[in-house]
């Protein structure tokens, strides 16, 4: 256990994470995907939202050790020591910071103080990094950790400042010019929290800086109640204050009632389905691992004008292995493009239209024609084969 805990602390330091919100997962198969790992750990409600922040191969167990960041504070006294994968297999073991505190306390009680008070901190920590305690090759582990740290510290400024500023949100209705709606602001804020490498304090600062008016008052209330509140808690408080009061069940039934509008393209309908599905999943109306299936089911259920396109995509046959949102959107847009080309190629070519002249005939020409017909009726009959003599008698 001391080995795992020292690894957790060092790993979190290299990744710039708070060790109290992190844990190390062992015995993870090499072929396990990031999504599989995150969905498995999020079955433990006490961890909250879980994100994979690093993976390391352990040659001794021929498996992965995975560093995960949790939105909730991790305490191994309130979570199981192992977790079964959602797709079955060998149990994964969990190691969190609560064990580290116990181990450090025991070490302080049992280990004697160093004789030389001038011994540096690096020398005191050196036994923890010895080849007997570190899993695998210690030299490779140290080089990898130093390389990761250098890569983060030498990252270009543009990359680290991608999420420098969020759009303004005040909670005022109707939405003032230059501000975002709550749903759009929450998507941007959650993306910043999940993907930005800055500290929790910096994320919290960016959220508060983007708020105005009533929304800022809610954030101030959260900070007054808990100065160390996480960025996720600020976002959750704003959603409760200004979001839809609908329950997860109400959101689910609204999602199931979506229908394609007249003239709406299938790709546009899919985007509308995805926006509503995201809200349902965030509020707990649908499990995240059922998201792809729910999307395909509702697309088949709500389409009213694109049945032929759905048949060409064979979505009913793919319900057991549904595609992801981006994959499905790309397939639909490609098929819509092919349909537009076929309609363009089969459209009838435009024929020239001959218009009658509206220019008036001169009166002199009409008089001469009448005079000629009266004087020479038989000549005209022989030429035209029509009797004209009776018309001008």
Could you give the CA distance from residue 336 to residue 313 in angstroms, rounded to a whole number?
11
Collapse the DSSP code of 383 into the 3-class scheme (helix H, G, I; strand E, B; otherwise coil) and give the result.
Answer: helix
Tell whether the model's pLDDT for residue 364 goes beyond 70: yes
Q: Burial level of 28, CB count in 10 A (0-12/13-18/19+)?
A: buried
Could you give the CA distance from residue 286 to residue 294 in angstroms, rounded to a whole number?
8
pLDDT digits (tens, 9 = 90+) for 302-323: 998 888 888 888 888 888 899 9
Give the CA distances from residue 216 to residues 210, 221, 222, 340, in Å, rounded to whole numbers and listed in that order.
8, 9, 10, 48
Q: Tell me, what's the pLDDT at 97?
A: 78
Encode burial over 96-125: b for 16+ CB neighbours within 10 A, e otherwise: bbbbbeebeeeeeeeeeeeeeeeeeeeeee
Query: The pTM is what?
Result: 0.42
Q: What is the mean pLDDT of residues 116-137?
A: 42
Ranked by mean pLDDT, the top range of 57-71, 101-115, 155-169 is 57-71
pLDDT digits (tens, 9 = 90+) for 233-278: 999 899 889 987 778 888 899 999 999 998 899 999 999 999 889 8
Q: Tell me, what's the pLDDT at 386?
A: 47
Higher pLDDT, 374 or 309: 309
Adjacent-strand bridge partners of 28: 64
Best CA proximity match to 65, nearest among 4, 126, 130: 4
Q: Tell me, what's the pLDDT at 66?
A: 92
The residues spanned by each domain of the chain are: 7-95, 182-242, 248-343
Give the CA distances from residue 228 to residues 224, 321, 324, in Å, rounded to whole numbers and listed in that order.
10, 43, 36
Going by pLDDT thresholds of 50, 70 and 90, the confidence category of residue 104 is very low
Q: Tell me, what's the pLDDT at 67?
A: 92
């Amino acid at each position: 256990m001391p080995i795992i805990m020292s690894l957790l602390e060092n790993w979190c330091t290299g990744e710039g994470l708070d060790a109290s919100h992190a844990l190390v997962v062992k015995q993870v198969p090499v072929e396990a995907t990031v999504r599989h790992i995150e969905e498995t750990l999020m079955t433990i409600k006490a961890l909250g939202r879980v994100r994979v922040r690093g993976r390391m191969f352990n040659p001794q167990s021929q498996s992965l050790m995975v560093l995960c960041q949790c939105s909730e504070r991790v305490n191994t006294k309130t979570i199981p020591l192992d977790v079964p994968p959602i797709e079955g297999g060998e149990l994964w073991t969990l190691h969190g910071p609560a064990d580290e505190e116990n181990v450090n306390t025991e070490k302080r009680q049992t280990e004697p103080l160093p004789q030389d008070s001038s011994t540096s901190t690096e020398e005191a920590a050196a036994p923890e990094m010895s080849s007997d305690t570190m899993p695998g090759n210690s030299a490779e582990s140290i080089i990898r950790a130093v390389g990761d740290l250098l890569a983060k510290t030498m990252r270009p400024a543009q990359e680290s400042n991608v999420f420098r500023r969020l759009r303004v949100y005040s909670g005022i209705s109707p939405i003032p010019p230059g501000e975002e709606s709550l749903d759009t602001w929450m998507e941007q804020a959650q993306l910043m929290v999940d993907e930005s490498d800055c500290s929790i304090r910096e994320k919290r600062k960016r959220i508060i800086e983007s708020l105005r008016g009533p929304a800022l008052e809610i954030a101030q209330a959260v900070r007054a109640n808990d100065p160390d509140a996480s960025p996720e808690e600020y976002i959750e408080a704003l959603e409760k204050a200004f979001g839809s009061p609908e329950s997860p069940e109400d959101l689910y039934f609204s999602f199931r009632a979506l229908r394609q509008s007249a003239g709406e393209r299938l790709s546009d309908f899919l985007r509308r389905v995805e926006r509503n599905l995201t809200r349902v999943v965030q509020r707990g109306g649908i499990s995240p691992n059922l998201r792809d299936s729910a999307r395909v089911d509702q697309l088949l259920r709500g389409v009213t004008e694109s049945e032929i396109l759905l048949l060409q995509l064979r979505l009913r046959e793919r319900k057991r292995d549904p595609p992801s949102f981006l994959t499905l959107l790309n397939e639909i847009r490609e098929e819509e493009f092919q349909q537009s080309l076929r309609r363009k190629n089969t459209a009838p070519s435009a024929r020239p239209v001959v218009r009658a002249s509206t220019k008036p005939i001169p009166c002199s020409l009409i008089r001469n024609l009448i005079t000629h017909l009266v004087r020479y009726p038989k000549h005209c009959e022989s030429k035209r084969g029509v009797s004209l003599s009776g018309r001008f008698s």
